[in-house]
Structure 1
Amino acid sequence: MSSFLYPNFDLSTLALLASAAFALVHLVPYLLDTHGLRKYPGPFLAKFSDVWLGYISKNGHRSEIVHGMHQKYGPIVRLAPNHVSIAEPDALSIVYGHGNGALKSNFYDAFVSIKRGIFNTRDRHEHARKRKIISHIFSQKSVVEFEPHIRAYVGNLLRQWDRLFDLAIKGQSGQEGEGWKGQGGRLWLDCLPWVNYLAFDIIGDLAFGGPFGMIEAGRDLANVPTNQEAVMNNYGSKTAVDVIEIPAIQILNGRGEYSMSMGVLPPSWRPLVCHLPWYRQGQKDVKSLAGIAIMAVSKRLQNPTDRVDLLSKLQDARDSDGNLLSREDLTAEALTLLIAGSDTTSNSTCAIIYYLARNRPSQIKLQKELDEQLGTEDELVTTGQQSKRLPYLDACINEAMRLHSTSALGLPRVIPDGGFSVLDQFFPAGTVLSVPSYTIHRDKAIWGDDVEAYRPERWFERDQADIQKTFNPFSFGPRACVGRNLAFLELQIIVSSIMRRYDIVLESEDQQLSTREGFLRKPLSCTVGIRRRDL
């Protein structure tokens, strides 16, 4: 009896049984084809398992590879057993539009740390409640109030670059690890860390009442409490808190890669996969990043102020029942602001600088517009009001965001009960659909045959209705980025101020902008040579 209940298997038999079980788990759903997806082309492994999408996501070039799949197979590609990518501009309004009933998929569960915020809330009613609380914070009227703070930190950046430039033209170079040198009458530096410092200091000031001090220090730094739970439980207390210094930008990058690659895996796999070495580090990054928000909120609440900023608006916000946000809700939304307000701005700024440095005619044309519209007065930073008179500036920004596509991957949505049709194809309830921004930003029917060229002029040449339905830097519909007004104002002020002040070149004509994709597609570095312009 015991041998029947507990048979003795050798290792080869166990391996064979495990393989057979694994094959059945993935083969049976494919054969049953309950969502009718077997007819759609895609990578062979993707038809049976989420492993293919998980693998390319972890390796950091998902959007480029999915784009290649669309070039090979056409506008509809199966990325996983229950996930279909649709690379057609007309699909945006259907998949992400108002009133379609589609929900965020379980992909977003991998982005929850403190508590669900507006970004990772999947319940429609809960999202509507949170959006009502937060959206007014980013209205055009509110954003104007933040402009002086943005301009102050852009000024800090320019003063740092001016200081280094003055040293560079004297033939000096930075110490080992400082990453700058003087050569050929220019200051040579990697602009990526600096625009990261700028974005973090701006959002630190706007969200928490004070900068992280990265521009002044010239390095990546932030403080987190050694005991996050104790700080959360004692918000507003004057009790001394033990803290450690961490590299916030590095941790933010790690957290994005971890959450994105974890999110594409089935929920049943995640408790097992998270124990693998690479994923364990990702979990540490998630906790450390939450600690930055916890520390910043705690510091702010310990020192009340009448100053109007994002956190003060969150503190005063009430839901439909008149309730204030809980401490956990307040911190979760502050964390969302920290991530969204730093990462997207710095990545886009770096890409814009790169493309303008690479395309000298576009840079010269932009500088001509800046000089004509703003004059030659010795003013470091452009105002938001001035930037409204700069249409070519907007075209330069938009063209870089089209090509670089910081938010490049197709955000997954689950089709509601009843299903719906996209491009004359019916998809039943429960199917996951996405529209990849990286690919539709390269649709030749919309943008022209030279889709890989940086050419701001196309924004004045192409049909504006086609552009509006295709350009998707901030997502689309009710789940679109609530901070888009602030993000674009920041880019206008930052880019116009930098390009008005400096002439910028690349190290070589064939220099490429290397990237790696977590949740966002990030430049890895961008070495440029800057020289102060004679106005």
Structure 2
Amino acid sequence: METTNMESIPMSVLVLAPLSAITLHELVLRRVEVDHLALPLIVTSSTIYWALVYYIGFFSATVVTASFWIPLWLYIATYRAFFHPLKDYPGPLGAKLSSWWAVKQTWASNFHYHRVQQQLQKEYGDYVRTGPRELSIFDPAAVQPIMGFQSRTTKGPFYDVMEKSLHLNRDKVFHRQRRRIWDNAMKTSLSDFAPHIEMFTDQLITRLREEEGKAVPLLEYVTYYSYDVMAALAFGKPMGFITGQSSDVAESILSTFTRGVNALGLMYHMPWLMNALGVLTSIAGPMREWRDFSVNQMKARMALKDARPDLISHLINNTANNESGHNLLYGESRLIISAGSETVSSALTFVFMHLAVYPSYMHAIRKEYRKHEAEYNCERPLPLLDAVIQESMRLWPSVLFASQRVTPPEGLTINGHFIPGNMIINMPPFTIYRDPRNFVDPDSFIPERWTDRPDLVLDKSAFHPFSTGPYSCAGKGLAMMELRSVVGRVLDEFDIVLPEGFVSEHYFEDIKEHFTAGPPRLLVQFVSTK
């Protein structure tokens, strides 16, 4: 029977509820990482609330629930602000209290959180508290202690989201074993895959020839290229984007990725939310479509008899032939496509845009390419071409997300700063790459700093566009092959012409952070030089 007055609620309940909240915080929330338990906690608390509504009525249930949650929130806020192990590190008060602060800053800055991080460094220094248990570190001396091969840190809760793969897992032993398989696969298959990269570059150039002199969407075209390359790598066949032969399902999947970037730019600050939504979106919707497509493609690839040796065949042959192994392969096929495509497409876009803004380098690369055309191989570096790619990645890294690491239980001392155990630490790449202590004139595009002007690089260890240490990008070699192939061969045939009235400052200021860097959409012309 429903009751609607405070007198009907036993005083012991009103006392026990806040005490239970405090006990929960002290015994569990302070000591256990709950990011992966978000959905069970939400479901459990909601079930308890509605059970109370059924037995004691809406008003009484709300009062009892509030007497638990309000003291819990107040207690957590007090602890985080004044008693947390990171209490002595400077940072905005909102960041100390909740990760929602970073979400708010991302939204308020129109997805320019990398600029927010720059301002934080200027205001608070090299060690800034940017979350309840998170430090953002801008000190290049921290690179090796945090990410190096001898580092005692582990991956942060972000890497528990979605599904298990080489990248998305926090088990050091598993990663080390799986990474060895990936490295061997890359080592033996990259040379064989080079002709396929050149084939897709042929297709891209053919399309540009057809559109010669017309205004074309730069980001869209290089995205078509990168997704086709990665699909061929993961499944043994492309999606047909470059040639215009893609299926409706493939188009829908690409649309899901391109339209979902804003949501990812907000959610990656809160792994618990990504975990919860990952479970829900796997049941139905666009992400379910992507999962089903990738599973079907991988099953077809696994069923091939006498398939040519390539990356995915090496992974299949070195993965257990059981449900767990198959799920790992499904996850890694999605990793290959989603991670490899977005990063390469943004890198290509930025390289082309820098060359269009600074055409003297465009002409110099063309000259260098033609000089070495006879012995050209996308696996081998060309000094100026590689320098331009490096400098573009320094100014605008494809991944703006600062990789999470967790300090060991005993804590970690970096450059005289003691960081307590089990704290999340990260190193924002954009801010570090733009730091004048690391690079002379850091905001300027100067490829010579990677060739004959090494004096313009003050701390080379600060630059790691493919990360560093045991968790560095396994596909670095492949990405560089794609970049060399597309940039060198496209510039051999075309000048890139920007639209009338284009203002480079406005374009680069509009680059957004969606975990990866989000280039603005722009129509450019590819004008033949032959």
- The letter for the 2-side match of 1:335 is R
Are the structure 2 counterparts of residues 283 and 31 from structure 1 closer, same or farther at C-alpha, using a change threshold of 3 Å? farther
Matched residue, 1:64: 115
Does structure 1 residue 189 correspond to structure 2 residue 188? no
1:318/1:296 CA distance change after superposition, 3 Å: closer
Q: Equivalent residue for 2:146?
A: 95
Matched, 1:294 2:279: no
Contact 2:467-2:473 within 8 A present in 1 as well: yes
More displaced 10-residue stretch of structure 1: 253-262 or 81-90: 253-262
**Gap change, CA 1:494 and 1:152, over 3 Å in 2:** same
Q: 1:79 aligned to 2:130?
A: yes
Say whether residues 1:525 and 2:521 are aligned partners.
Answer: yes
1:51 corresponds to which residue? Answer: 100
In structure 2, relative to structure 1, the CA distance for the partners of 1:382 and 1:523 (3 Å cut) is farther
Distance (whole Å) between structure 2 residues aligned to residue 14 and residue 54 of structure 1: 27
* Equivalent residues of 1:208, 1:310 under 8 A apart: no
Q: Is the 8 A contact 2:268 2:515 kept in 1?
A: no
Q: What residue number does 1:315 align with?
A: 316
Q: CA distance change for structure 1 residues 270 and 325 in 2, over 3 Å: closer, same or farther? A: closer
Structure 1 match to 2:339: 340
Contact 2:449–2:456 (8 Å) recurs in 1: no
Contact kept? 2:144, 2:150, Cα under 8 Å: no
Distance 1:477 1:256, change over 3 A: farther
Q: Does the CA contact (< 8 Å) of 1:57 and 1:518 recur in 2? A: no
Residues 298, 272 of structure 1: alpha-carbon distance in 2 compared, 3 angstrom cutoff? closer
- Say which SS state the counterpart of residue 528 (structure 1) adopts: strand
C-alpha distance in 2 between matches for 1:323 and 1:271:
25
Contact 2:185–2:311, Cα closer than 8 Å, also in 1:
yes
Structure 2 counterpart SS, 1:217? coil
What is aligned with 2:254? 249
d(CA) in 2 for partners of 1:125, 1:472: 24
Counterpart CA distance in 2 for 1:163 and 1:254 is 28
Residue 440 of structure 2 contacts residue 456 of structure 2 at CA under 8 Å; is this kept in 1? no
What amino acid is the match of 2:254? I
Q: 1:40 to 1:253 in 2, by over 3 A?
A: farther
Q: What does residue 489 of structure 1 align with? A: 481
Residue 383 of structure 1 is matched in structure 2 by 377
Q: Report SS of the residue matched to 1:289.
A: helix
Deviation at 1:505, TM superposition (A): 1.9
Distance (whole Å) between structure 2 residues aligned to residue 510 and residue 55 of structure 1: 29
1:208 aligned residue = 235
Q: Does the 8 A contact of 1:251 with 1:288 survive in 2?
A: no
TM-score under structure 1 length normalisation: 0.80
1:104 aligns with 2:152: no
Residue 31 of structure 2 corresponds to which residue in structure 1?
Answer: none
Structure 2 unaligned runs (5+)? Answer: 1-6, 14-55
Following the alignment from structure 1 to structure 2, what is the Cα–Cα distance between the partners of residues 433 and 308? 40
What is the aligned partner in structure 2 of residue 480 from structure 1? 472
Q: How does 1:262-273 map to 2 (within 5 A)?
A: 262-265=267-270, 267=272
CA RMSD of aligned residues (A): 3.1
Aligned CA distance change for structure 1 residues 65 and 246 (closer, same or farther; 3 Å): same
Q: 2:511 is aligned with what amino acid?
A: T
1:395 aligns with 2:387: yes
CA-CA distance at 1:292 after TM superposition: 3.4
In structure 1, the gaps of 5 or more residues are: 166-185, 224-243, 376-380
Residue 313 of structure 1, CA deviation: 1.4
Which region of structure 1 is more displaced relative to structure 2, 289-298 or 495-504? Answer: 289-298
The residue identity in structure 1 corresponding to 2:97 is: F
**CA deviation profile, 1:68-127 (whole Å, cap 9, x unmatched):** 2112222111110110011122211111111322111112222x23xx001111011111
Asked if structure 2 preserves the Cα contact closer than 8 Å seen for 1:50 and 1:266, the reply is no
The 5 A counterparts of 1:403-422 are 403-422=395-414
Q: After the TM superposition, which residues 491-510 of structure 1 pair with which residues of structure 2 at under 5 Å, given as runs? A: 491-507=483-499, 508-510=501-503
* Structure 1 residue matching 2:117: 3-state secondary structure: helix
* Structure-1 separation of matches of 2:434 and 2:284: 35
Percent identity of equivalent pairs: 25
Task: Evaluate the alpha carbon distance shift between residue 272 and residue 189 of structure 1 in structure 2; reply closer, same or farther with a 3 A threshold.
Answer: closer
Q: Which has the higher helix share?
A: 2
User: What is the correspondence of 1:11-30 to structure 2 with a 5 Å cutoff?
Assistant: 21-30=72-81
Q: Are the aligned partners of 2:130 and 2:136 in contact in 1 as well (CA < 8 Å)? A: yes
What aligned pairs does 1:102-251 form with structure 2 within 5 A after superposition?
A: 102-110=153-161, 112-113=162-163, 116-139=164-187, 141-165=188-212, 186-217=213-244, 221=246, 244=249, 246-251=251-256
Distance in 2 between residues matched to 1:395 and 1:266, nearest whole Å: 36
Corresponding residue number in structure 2 for 1:230: none
Q: Shift of the alpha carbon at 1:260?
A: 5.6
How many angstroms does 1:142 deviate by?
A: 2.8
| C-alpha distance in structure 2 between counterparts of 1:256 and 1:436, whole Å | 19
Count residues with an aligned counterpart: 472
Deviation for aligned residue 1:361: 1.9
